[in-house]
Amino acid sequence: MKFTVAIDGPAAAGKGTISRAVAGRFGFAHLDTGLLYRAVGMKGGDPVLAARGLTAADLAREDLRSLEAGQAASKVAVLPDVRAALVAFQRAFARRDGGAVLDGRDIGTVICPEAEVKLFVTASAEIRARRRWLELEGEAFEDVLAQVRERDDRDMNRADAPMRAAEDAVVLDTSEMSVEAAIAQALALVAAKLG
C-alpha cells in the first residue's frame, strides 16, 4: 500500500511531534527531511557535493538539532542543486510500500504533490520560538526568536520550492492548541482518508 502524509510548516511549529504520532499510530515510516538539509549545512565544503554524497554518518551527527545547524540548513536549502540532489531519495521514501510520513517545507508542494493527506502546521513566531527555546539549552530567548524569524523569511522567499501550504493542505494553527489536540486532528484526518 502506498499512502503518504505530507506535513509542512515553519520552524518549531510541531511538525516533528505530530509526524511521530501519526507514524506510530498507523505503522508508517517517518522521514524528518529537515535533517537532510541540516546535515548538508553542517558538513562544510561544497554543499552540492555534500548533498550528493550524504551518508548515514552525516545524518547521525549529534549537533544537527542546534541553532547553528538550523541556520546552516536554511542557507544551503536555497540552492537548487542541493535541493535537486535530495529529491529522488525523498520521493522514493514517500512512495515506499506500507505508508510514509514526511515533514519539511515542500513535501506537499514539490516532493509529493500526490500525497493522500497534506497538513500545514503553523503557529505565531513568538510561540514557536518559545517552544524551541525550551528544547535548547543555554540559548537566549531573543536569539532564538530572531533566528526563527530569519529562517522563516529565507524559507518563504527563496525562488526554488519556497515554504507554503499546498492548495489542498489542511492548515493547523497550533498557537492556541495543545499538542494532544493537534495530534488528535492529524490522526482523525489520516483515519478518515484511510477509510
Site for ligand CDP in 153-182 (CB under 6 A): 155
CB 91 within 8 A of CB 100: no
Place of cell 529529491: 87
Q: Which three cell numbers stand for residue 27?
A: 505503522
CB 12 within 8 A of CB 148: yes
- Closer CB to ligand CDP, residue 59 or residue 191? 59
Site for ligand CDP in 74-103 (CB under 6 A): 74, 77
CB 121 within 8 A of CB 169: no
Single residue of 104, 109, 112, 166 touching ligand CDP by CB under 6 A: 104
| Dist. CA 81–CA 176, nearest whole Å | 38
Asked if 6 interacts with ligand CDP (CB under 6 A), we say no
Asked if 7 interacts with ligand CDP (CB under 6 A), we say no
Single residue of 4, 33, 147, 174 touching ligand CDP by CB under 6 A: 33
Site for ligand CDP in 58-77 (CB under 6 A): 70, 73-74, 77
Single residue of 30, 43, 105, 131 touching ligand CDP by CB under 6 A: 105
- Nearest distance from C-beta of residue 11 to ligand CDP, angstroms: 3
- Closer CB to ligand CDP, residue 4 or residue 74? 74
Asked if 133 interacts with ligand CDP (CB under 6 A), we say no
Nearest-CA neighbor of 165 among 4, 10, 5? 10
Asked if 19 interacts with ligand CDP (CB under 6 A), we say no
Residue 136 vs residues 33, 42, 68, 76, 179: alpha-carbon distances, Å:
20, 18, 12, 22, 18
CB 145 within 8 A of CB 129: yes
- Residues lying near ligand CDP in the complex (CB under 6 A) are found at 11-12, 33-34, 37-38, 70, 73-74, 77, 104-106, 151, 155
